Amino acid sequence: FCNVMNVFTVTFDQFNTSLLNTIHISLNKNNLTDPKLLNGSMYCFTSIVAINDILMGTLTVRENLAFSANLCLSRKEYSSADKKMRVDSVIQELGLKDCADTKIRTMFLRGVSGGEKKRCSIGMELITSPSLLFLDEPTTGLDANTANSIIELLQKYHTLIFSIHQPRYSIFSQFDHLTLMNKGEIIYAGAANKAITYFEDLDFFLDVTNRTVLPQIHNNQSDKCSSSEEMEENENPLAVIYRQSPHFLKVKDRLSQISDGLEVTKGDRVGYATPFCYQLMLVSGRTVRNILRNPQTSYAQLFLNIFFGILVGLIYYQIPHTLPEALQNRTGAFFFLVINMVFGNLSAVELFISERVLFIHENSSGFYRTSVYFLSKVFADLIPNRILPVFIFSAIPYFMMGLKPGVEAFFLYCLTMSMVSLSAVSLAFLVSASVGSFAMANILIALPYVLMMVFGGFLVNLNSMLSWMSWLKWASIFRYGYNALAINELKDQVFTSNYTSVRGDMYLDHQEIDHSTWGFWQNQVALTGIMCVCLILAYVQLRRINRWK
């Protein structure tokens, strides 16, 4: 590709995308060195612009471009001022000055137009001034004049390989090299200005490529395929003609010359432009900014926790110490609280699914490590969406229900609620990282939640279950959360009836709940273990995502 300026591919959309992605990832996975043409430098500076504009919708045009510059430009070679100048230069070149501080667009936020979004997507890749730029239908969504100006700008500074459909003549005239494909086979590859001459003997151009009519072979082309016996029954005649043409031989010889001058070292990973901690800071900052600008994941989550906290407090308002209400209402409240904590984290299944395409694109393009993306999501989502709302939700019903007074009891109560929430959200993270659709994720997360609830020990006596099923209680978030809350509240409490009194310890013994000091903390250890195992598996699943797709 070293001397190729533009490649024009006419084929099916899905094949276009697969072909460009495969070439791009192959070049990034292999270290290609050309001493003559590239002065021995690593030939890994390639970028790809996808047909679907992959951008963070809550960020502005300038913020998206700055994110790309900060991650892809080395801190040793570029200062903060240099990066800012580079961002401003790209904004100016692509005509994005008027919308530079406008957000891209989400379901809840209005933003830039489709053409401006396309130009921003191109700008994300131009930040590093790549030696080779792949574009999948770069004129899609652009008007004719804008499309023409973008192509003129790009071809002045970069080697381009792109697919395009129905280009206007002013764009087509800029092509240096043209490749036409039909049903996965090349039917022409050579100089763009010689394509018309080549197809003159076939009478037509695009209609032949799209197979709307059959080719009428004339003159010298008929000599090469004079009889139907020379090609197989299902063989593409256009491809056969091309392979017998001088254009094919010329391209083949040129590729052989280029390959002889290249050294390929497979298996060596190209280093990232920025260190781990710097990547983590930038990606985490973007994640937090996205959460704050997205009301669905921030304000709504907080409002729902306050609403349900007040609702639980009203239902179990000022639980008395007289039997039977004392025990029945307290245990019912605990189970209700645990259910709300667990099922309140169903929204976490969208965490990795909603940004799956963005993650694959940025990670495969070398923006950041998989571990950086995972940790940024875990930290940025857990603290604002899972920890702070839990304390708000926990504090409201605790005092409304009149539970055990004392700082220590309240702290252990909040700790238990937090661990239940973290364990549940970690399982949701695992499901989110394992599948690519919301429908499948909802099914997969609901099943373990329901099983955990059944084996939690509140709805069914675990001793009455079949032995081959009872082991599932050890994986129940509900069981550990309920037991810890019951121990914290009922231990050393005395509840009275008309003529009798019952200690909370007696009730715990009757339920076979270990209420010793270790009995309480073993529930916390179990919840921590479930959380850690799910988070580790979620990271493994992110690593296993097929980048080639």
pLDDT at position 466: 61
The dihedral sign for the CA sequence 96, 102, 104, 110: negative
Residue 428 has pLDDT above 90, yes or no: yes
Indicate whether 253 and 371 sit together in one domain.
Answer: no
> Which residue shows structure tokens 């189970």?
335
123-169 pLDDT, tens digit each: 888 888 887 888 888 877 777 887 887 888 777 766 788 888 778 88
Pick the more confident residue, 46 or 491. 491
At 17, the pLDDT band (50, 70, 90 cuts) reads: low
CATH value at residue 104: 3.40.50.300
**In-domain check, residue 291:** no
321 within a domain of the structure (yes/no): yes
Q: Of 87, 102, 130, which one is at a domain's C-terminal end?
A: 130
Q: Write down the pLDDT at residue 439.
A: 86
363 and 507 assigned to the same domain: yes
Percent of the chain with pLDDT strictly greater than 70:
79
Angle in degrees, 0-180, between the axes of helices 477-490 and 325-343, rounded to the nearest 10: 140
Helix H segments across 275-324?
276-292, 299-315
40, pLDDT greater than 50: no
Beta carbons within 8 Å of 271's beta carbon, 6+ residues apart? none
pTM: 0.80
Task: For 390-404, write each residue's pLDDT tens digit.
Answer: 888 888 999 999 898
Q: Is residue 290 part of a domain?
A: no
Highest mean pLDDT among 84-98, 173-187, 196-210, 213-227: 84-98
Domain count, the chain: 3
In this prediction, residue 3 carries a pLDDT of 36
Q: Tell me which of 262 and 427 has the higher pLDDT.
A: 427
| Residue 282 within any structural domain of the chain | no
Q: Are residues 109 and 236 in the same domain?
A: no
Q: Can you say how many angstroms the Cα of residue 233 is from the centroid of all Cα atoms in its chain?
A: 45
Q: pLDDT (tens digit, 9 = 90+) per residue, 505-547?
A: 898 988 888 889 899 999 999 999 999 999 999 999 999 886 6
What is the per-residue pLDDT for 119?
A: 87
376, part of any domain:
yes
70-82 pLDDT, tens per residue?
Answer: 998 888 889 999 9
pLDDT of residue 85: 94
pLDDT of residue 302: 77
Check pLDDT > 80 for residue 354.
yes
Give 314-348 pLDDT, tens digit per residue.
999 999 888 888 888 998 899 889 998 898 888 88
pLDDT, position 288: 87
High-pLDDT (> 90) share of the chain, %? 25
Reported as type and span, the H/E element at residue 177 is: strand 177-182
Backbone angles phi, psi at 527, to 5 degrees: -65, -40
- Please check whether residues 370 and 244 belong to one and the same domain: no
d(CA 175, CA 171): 7
Domain assignment present for residue 227? The answer is no
pLDDT band at 91 (very low <50, low <70, confident <90, very high): very high
110 and 215 assigned to the same domain: no
Number of other CB atoms surrounding residue 277 within 10 Å: 9
Average pLDDT over residues 336-361: 87
Q: Over 50: is that where the pLDDT of 425 sits?
A: yes
270 plus 322 within the same structural domain: no
> If you average pLDDT over every residue of the chain, what do you get?
80
Q: Are residues 71 and 198 in the same domain?
A: no
- Identify the band that residue 33 occupies on the pLDDT scale cut at 50, 70 and 90: very low
Please tell me whether residues 238 and 115 are part of one structural domain: no
Residue 2 counted as domain residue: no
Give the range of the structural domain holding residue 18, as residue numbers without chain letter: 8-36+135-220+232-274
- 53 and 164 fall within a common domain: no
Residues 6+ apart with CB under 8 A from 372: 276, 279, 280, 283
**Spatial contact of 424 and 432, defined as CB atoms under 8 Å apart:** no
Most confident of 9-18, 43-52, 188-197, 537-546: 537-546
The pLDDT of residue 401 is: 92
- Cα 141 to Cα 151: distance, rounded to the nearest angstrom: 14
> Is the per-residue pLDDT at 63 higher than 80?
yes
Q: What are 249-299's pLDDT values in tens digits?
A: 888 888 788 777 655 555 445 568 889 999 999 999 998 888 888 766 667
Q: Exposure pattern of 479-508 as b/e (b: 16+ CB <10 Å)?
A: bbbbbbbbbbbbbebebeeeeeebebbebb
354 φ, ψ to 5°?
-65, -25
Quick check: is 3 in a domain?
A: no
Residues 31 and 155 in one domain: yes
Clarify whether residues 102 and 204 are in a common domain: no
How many alpha carbons lie under 13 Å from residue 151 in its C-beta half-sphere? 30
Domain end call among 109, 130, 151: 130
What is the distance between the alpha carbons of residues 252 and 451, in angstroms, rounded to a whole number? 62
Mean pLDDT of 119-123: 89
The pLDDT value recorded for residue 532 is: 95
**pLDDT, mean of residues 407-432:** 93
Q: Which of 96, 130, 164 is the last residue of a domain?
A: 130
Task: Give the residue-averaged pLDDT of 59-67.
Answer: 94
Q: Are residues 385 and 514 in the same domain?
A: yes
Burial class (CB in 10 A: 0-12, 13-18, 19+), 321: middle
Buried b (16+ CB within 10 A) or exposed e, 19-44: bbbebbbebbbbbbbeeeebeeeebb
In this prediction, residue 147 carries a pLDDT of: 81
